[in-house]
Amino acid sequence: MVRLRFLGFRLLSLAGLLLVLSLVLFLLQEISDADPVAATIGGNASPEAIAAARERLGLDRPPVERYLAYLGGLVTGDMGTSFRTHRDVTTDIATYLPATVELVLFAFVVALVLGVLFAVSSLLRWPLAGPFRGLLFVGSTAPTFLLGLVGLVVFYQLLGWLPASGRGGVTDGPTGMTLLDSLLAGDLAAAGDALQHLALPALALAVGPALAIGRVLRSSLTETLGSDFVRTATSKGLTEPQVLVRHVLRNSVNAALSMSALQLGFMFGGVLLVEGVFTWGGLGSYLAASLPVSDFPAIAGVTFVLGALYVTVNTVADVLQSVADPRIRVS
């Protein structure tokens, strides 16, 4: 019962945050200079055509009715029509979203690996652990787009190891994610090509989150290792790996989970800049093309999707934390 109440509270919080986000986007659309009528029928239309278009678009209705209609559209997946492409924004986002999700998820895996290596190497004092941590720290202080540019200069222009742009791999697969589609097609050469195209943008996106996750995990591991129950487990004859897996990790993962979810949410925002640097055909390119022409439905649609992903990721992290530590549900 406690677990169901906790889950229900988190879902209500998620719905509330999305409701607030929808209201903010509607208000921004109301005060923006974008003219849906001019974008739909042109700026030289007759007054009669303008009046008919306003009625068709629902712009003659009170603001409350327009917001409720906008909210109903979001619930049913209708985000309006793009002024630039003249297609449903939902259709456009569905076309570009898989590329963004693929890059973020791959970068998140890289960040987790680097973060764990940072934490563990700090405790076990591995050879070359100091230079590795120093390099990660220096990289995390640079802006994400600057890391991408440096990566292009070093690994593409100077060394010629990695490609500079594009996505590679199978580009017409069922999921829209080139690496996954290449693996599903059994084309290992295409999968390798997709990995090469993913490497630079993913690394640029992962360095900052990796340090944040690694620091939190290292702090939690250090605190847990000094606990009485760990010393008791060691005195019972358990090996260091057994103590680490059975006792230390489970009691140290909560803070790292919370930080990982926070960083994953941030990565969905930072990915837009990385896509621009590497000409990655995701939501970043769609947004970049929409901003100069004030295509507000497209801008609002991308913002809502990224915001929904952010709050959803954090909600899932809260639930996972409650599974790892039941005391969170009780509190």
- In this predicted structure, what is the pLDDT of residue 238? 63
- In this predicted structure, what is the pLDDT of residue 58? 63
- In this predicted structure, what is the pLDDT of residue 60? 66
Q: Determine the angle formed by the axes of helices 296-324 and 249-278, rounding to 10 degrees.
A: 160
Mean pLDDT of the 109-125 span? 82
- In this predicted structure, what is the pLDDT of residue 92? 92
Helix (H) or strand (E) holding 234: helix 228-235
Does 106 score more than 80 pLDDT?
A: yes
- In this predicted structure, what is the pLDDT of residue 40? 62
Does 217 score more than 70 pLDDT?
A: yes
Among 2-6, 84-88, 103-107, 221-225, which stretch is predicted with the lowest mean pLDDT?
2-6
Confidence tier at 59 by pLDDT (50, 70, 90): low
Among 41-55, 68-82, 104-118, 246-260, which stretch is predicted with the lowest mean pLDDT?
41-55
Does 289 score more than 90 pLDDT?
A: no
User: SS3 of 165, please?
Assistant: coil
Confidence tier at 7 by pLDDT (50, 70, 90): confident
88 forms beta bridges with: 81
81 forms beta bridges with: 88
- In this predicted structure, what is the pLDDT of residue 11? 81
Does 110 score more than 90 pLDDT?
A: yes
Mean pLDDT of the 234-254 span? 66
Q: For 158-181, how does the pLDDT look when each residue is reduced to its tens digit (9 = 90+)?
A: 888 888 888 887 777 788 888 888
- In this predicted structure, what is the pLDDT of residue 159? 86
Does 76 score more than 80 pLDDT?
A: yes
**Closest among 148, 152, 164 to 271, alpha carbons compared:** 148
Mean pLDDT of the 4-24 span? 83
Domains and CATH numbers, the chain: 2-76 (no CATH), 92-325 (1.10.3720.10)
Does 64 score more than 50 pLDDT?
A: yes
Mean pLDDT of the 184-204 span? 89
Pair 212, 265: CB distance under 8 Å: no
- In this predicted structure, what is the pLDDT of residue 104? 92
Six token digits for residue 29: 């659309």
Confidence tier at 264 by pLDDT (50, 70, 90): confident
- In this predicted structure, what is the pLDDT of residue 131? 80
pLDDT over 70, % of the chain: 78
- Mean of per-residue pLDDT scores for the chain: 80
Burial classification of residue 328, based on how many CB atoms lie within 10 Å of its CB (0-12 exposed, 13-18 middle, 19 or more buried): middle
Residues 50, 60: Cα–Cα separation, whole Å: 11
Q: For 300-327, how does the pLDDT look when each residue is reduced to its tens digit (9 = 90+)?
A: 899 999 888 888 887 877 776 666 555 5
Residues 166, 163: Cα–Cα separation, whole Å: 8
pLDDT over 90, % of the chain: 9
Residues 99, 163: Cα–Cα separation, whole Å: 17
- In this predicted structure, what is the pLDDT of residue 228? 67
Pair 37, 53: CB distance under 8 Å: yes
